[in-house]
Amino acid sequence: MDTKHLAGAGSLHLSDEELARFEDGEIAEQDARHIEACEQCGGRLRDMQASYAAYRLHWDTLCAPLFPPPPQPWQPLDCLIEGPQPPHPLRSFRWGPFPALAGAVLAIIIAALVLYNPGQGASARATQLLTASAKLPSSRHGLISVRVHGRTLVRPAVMASETAPADDSDIVRLQAAFARASYDWREPLSARVFQSWRSRLPKKRDSVTVIRTADEKESYRVRTETDSGVLRTASLTLRSPDLHPIAGDFDFESEGTVEMAEAVPGENAPERASPLPRPSPVAPLTETPAGPEVTLHVLAALNQIGADVGEPVEIAQDSRRQRVVVHAAGISRERRQQIADVLKPLPQVMLEFDARESAVPLARTTPQERYSASIPAPLRQQFEERFGGAPRFQEATDRMLETGSSAAAQAHALETLARDFSPAVEESLASPDRELLHRLRDNHVSELQNLVSRIETDLEPLLPALPKGPPSAADGASARSWQASATPIVDLARKTDDALNRLLAGSYAQSSADDMLRALATQIAQLDAAIRVERQAGR
């Protein structure tokens, strides 16, 4: 039976069976030479290798641990079968005529390993992703952009030589830095090279994050930090679903951060281009910076679901200022989905989620009874009588401590808004965006005022006559920017929160209670006055 089949204009190619036999080392020499020379057969072989690697990863990680160990060591089959039998390598998994499914299966397995195994360590997840990516074939064609010392350069993805142009000092220094770090400069965006550098580190800290862009494209970022060597931090971004490396960041002790990203190659990109040719002057014009309005829209969207205050969500621009990066750590899958949904319509936004998630949705914990345990017994008895009993005093204590913490977080959000949108930045915004900024600012101020009012109401049994801020506190506020008026609020809110904790959860002598109550009353009055100033500022 002829195992070859026709393709194209009558040219002979190897069958799937022959490719499998090649993997087993059972193929004629002329067929082996054919695989090396034939792009189609070589591509089909790489697809089969990728599918087999995915299957082995699936078996070793998910299936094998489910089987109990044998009751006694298993004997080789050739000891149980009469007569010696030639050993055959295990090749029980065959894709047959469907090698194109390899990438999809690999993506599903990797997603299951990374997203649905929260108990697994970051180092183990990083190793699995890098190992699977390293087994996939890498193209020797293509270009990558390199950003270093304010310059954006272009070079081949895989260089045939490490020779750098002697007249370019940046490239010479960069190549030398990679050499000192024992990181292969010829193919820096390679999971194999990254894993080789990572495996030699005496101590390292790994993390894996899931990156999701506004157009719902996902990738995995593997990041490794170390305290030894000249390369202190390196990260590799692997595209989903095929785990192809598309970007990398390298933090050197002396050279700073070097950013690399896959560039779009021309149809006839040469295999051996000059090591780092200078880019065309028009290349930077294709980049559209992410202006402050993008950050504003992100904050407004997060505010809709209450994710901009008191949650582990960080917002910053990437190093190239092309996108706004929203990073969240330790939140539940449901909360991640809520954030992704509300940010989905926004352009130039990239999400980063830590692979690990919290077992329960994040929520502000309710203070326990221990908060009032340190109050001197006679004083605590007086407080309980004023509140109408121990249970009601404890409820009010829990509520005031939680409200004080929320007020401090709300004030911090207002400060962040004032810092990111200075009067000059605010003036540069279009009219609709300025209105959006003012609405967001008013939301923070109103919520902060409500929280302070709750504290005043709860403290009324202890402080029957809370003093109000002087009527002149808002005088001249219209001449000040709201950004300047927001600055003192953070400090006052933090001091109020600290004073509440000292009074209701601290350990102190009864003789100091009256001074603490007067100080707290003054602190709340000052915070209330500062909020009224903020309301009037800029109007």
List pLDDT tens digits, range 420-477. 898 999 888 999 998 999 999 999 999 999 999 999 888 888 875 555 545 444 444 4
Positive or negative, the CA dihedral 33, 38, 41, 47 is positive
Between 255 and 488, residue with greater pLDDT = 488
- Give the tokens for residue 216: 């719902």
**Whole-angstrom Cα distance, residue 295 to residue 9?**
56
Place 102 in a pLDDT band, splitting at 50, 70 and 90.
Answer: low
CA geometry: angle at 322 spanning 321 and 327, to 5°?
80
User: Is residue 408 helix, strand or coil?
Assistant: helix
Place 192 in a pLDDT band, splitting at 50, 70 and 90.
Answer: very high
- Provide the residue count of the chain: 539
**Whole-angstrom Cα distance, residue 343 to residue 210?**
15
Query: Does pTM surpass 0.75?
Result: no
Q: How confident is the model over 38-53, as a mean pLDDT?
A: 78
Closest CA to 137 of 17, 244, 261, 236: 244
Q: How confident is the model over 382-388, as a mean pLDDT?
A: 87
Place 66 in a pLDDT band, splitting at 50, 70 and 90.
Answer: low
Place 219 in a pLDDT band, splitting at 50, 70 and 90.
Answer: confident
pLDDT for res 80: 53
**What's the DSSP call for residue 69?**
P
pLDDT for res 123: 83
What is the number of other CB atoms lying within 10 angstroms of the CB of residue 511?
9
Place 385 in a pLDDT band, splitting at 50, 70 and 90.
Answer: confident
Alpha carbon 37 to its chain centroid, in Å, reads 42
Residue type (1 letter), 361:
P
pLDDT for res 365: 40
- Give the tokens for residue 257: 């951060």
Give the pairing type, strands 256-263 and 143-148. Answer: antiparallel
> pLDDT tens for residues 331-349?
887 888 888 888 888 888 8
Closest CA to 115 of 336, 349, 360: 336
- Give the tokens for residue 489: 């609020």
**Whole-angstrom Cα distance, residue 279 to residue 109?**
39
Name the percent of the chain lying above pLDDT 90.
Answer: 11
> pLDDT tens for residues 248-297?
999 888 777 888 988 764 433 333 334 434 333 333 333 457 788 888 89
Positive or negative, the CA dihedral 273, 277, 283, 288 is positive
Beta strand ranges found along 311-348 (DSSP E): 313-317, 324-328
**Whole-angstrom Cα distance, residue 330 to residue 410?**
21
Q: Please, which residues have CB within 8 angstroms of residue 504's CB and are 6 or more apart in sequence?
A: 371, 372, 375, 397, 400, 401
User: Is residue 182 helix, strand or coil?
Assistant: coil
pLDDT for res 234: 93
User: CA separation (Å) from 240 to 110, 196, 214?
Assistant: 9, 22, 15
Residue type (1 letter), 264:
V
Place 320 in a pLDDT band, splitting at 50, 70 and 90.
Answer: low
User: CA separation (Å) from 194 to 133, 243, 513?
Assistant: 11, 14, 61
**Whole-angstrom Cα distance, residue 23 to residue 109?**
23
Which residue in this structure is represented by tokens 């078996």? Answer: 59
CB 374 within 8 A of CB 507: yes
Residue type (1 letter), 318:
D
pLDDT for res 381: 87
User: Is residue 197 helix, strand or coil?
Assistant: helix
pLDDT for res 275: 42
